[in-house]
Amino acid sequence: MKTFVVITQPVKNGSTGILARERYLKSSSHPNHTNTEEIFDVVGNEATSKRIIVAGEQYKLNKMLSNNRRGRSISSFAVEFCLSFPQGYRPTKDQWRLIIGDCCRSLAEHLKLERNDRKEFYSLVRGVCHQQNQTGAGSGDHSHLVVPKIIGNRVLRELQRKSSTAVLKQAFTAAISKHVGISVDDYKPYELNRGRRLEKWQYESRKTEELLKEKQRLVDKLEKQVERWELALENYDTKQMRRQRNRIKNSLSEVGAEIKNTNLLSKINNIIQP
């Protein structure tokens, strides 16, 4: 593990999408938030989301007034990042604000924003933290960071590229180390409800066992198909005999040559021989 987890997705559907995300992020009654113990603002508030909408709608209006029809009409005013901690770690509210501050500065540097553009960028960032129940199979504490795509009269298309997510991951990891004192080297992943990760030999042993079970299932299916063919032979049902012969051929190709039951193999050979 080289970095802590950051997930990226565009906020679609223009103004409607921004409003929907604001409602979702602050809703303590949403079904997805049954394991959420507390929701609080890290940066910005509902008014920030409204300003993102205003910036987006103003950009669309300016495009219409300028009669500039080149390119597609913009349908997304922001990009959302989800910055997550593993279970067992709970930064304070102040630590979250310091972490998000560092992340936003790194993004602004990466996007090469200067002076007024940078100031506007910071004023349009929306951050909400969800503190999670630390037991069971749910996620750990995380913050949703809604970042504006429209600054001034331009679109920050770089935000949705992998390079921006990579920068944010590194910034998030560095900020955690700086403000919380946790390094990725200190965290050892665990499988949910299974204790420590399987050793390589345990994984290979389990995989082999699963393959053997699947092989046996196919052999059992072959035996039933042979029985059906024999029954069809007794009843002089040629149509059913052809059907079962084709099925036996298909099953045999899945099983391969590893059939230890010589009696079954002999019957199969008699059936499929031309």
Same domain, 181 and 235: no
At residue 190, the pLDDT reads 46
Same domain, 20 and 146: yes
Same domain, 172 and 155: yes
Same domain, 182 and 211: no
Asked whether residue 258 carries a pLDDT value surpassing 90, the answer given is no
* Adjacent-strand bridge partners of 83: 6, 143
The last residue of one of the domains, among 175, 191, 207, is 191
Asked whether residue 255 carries a pLDDT value surpassing 90, the answer given is no
pLDDT over 70 for what percent of the chain? 85
Same domain, 236 and 147: no
pLDDT-derived band of residue 194, with 50, 70 and 90 as boundaries?
A: very low
Total structural domains within the chain: 2
At residue 187, the pLDDT reads 58
Q: What is the mean pLDDT of residues 235-260?
A: 79
Same domain, 121 and 187: yes
Q: Which domain holds residue 104?
A: 5-191
Asked whether residue 2 carries a pLDDT value surpassing 60, the answer given is no
Name the more confident of 189 and 73: 73
CATH at 178: 3.30.930.30
Same domain, 205 and 128: no
Same domain, 72 and 167: yes
Q: What is the per-residue pLDDT across 163-186, written as a single tens digit (0 to 9) for each?
A: 999 999 999 999 999 999 887 766
At residue 192, the pLDDT reads 40
Name the more confident of 44 and 198: 44
Q: What is the mean pLDDT of residues 79-84?
A: 94
pLDDT-derived band of residue 193, with 50, 70 and 90 as boundaries?
A: very low
Same domain, 145 and 235: no
Rg of the chain, C-alpha, whole Å: 30
User: In the chain, where does DSSP find H-type helix?
Assistant: 14-26, 46-65, 93-110, 115-123, 162-179, 200-234, 238-255, 262-272
Same domain, 162 and 251: no
Same domain, 181 and 204: no
Residue 10 CA to residue 91 CA, distance in Å, equals 26
Same domain, 211 and 152: no
Task: Give 109's contacts (C-beta < 8 A, 6+ positions apart).
Answer: none
pLDDT-derived band of residue 215, with 50, 70 and 90 as boundaries?
A: confident
Q: Is the separation of the CB atoms in 17 and 77 below 8 Å?
A: yes
At residue 68, the pLDDT reads 63
Q: What is the mean pLDDT of residues 51-80?
A: 85
Asked whether residue 195 carries a pLDDT value surpassing 50, the answer given is no
The last residue of one of the domains, among 124, 158, 191, is 191
DSSP-derived secondary structure letter, 78: E
pLDDT-derived band of residue 58, with 50, 70 and 90 as boundaries?
A: very high
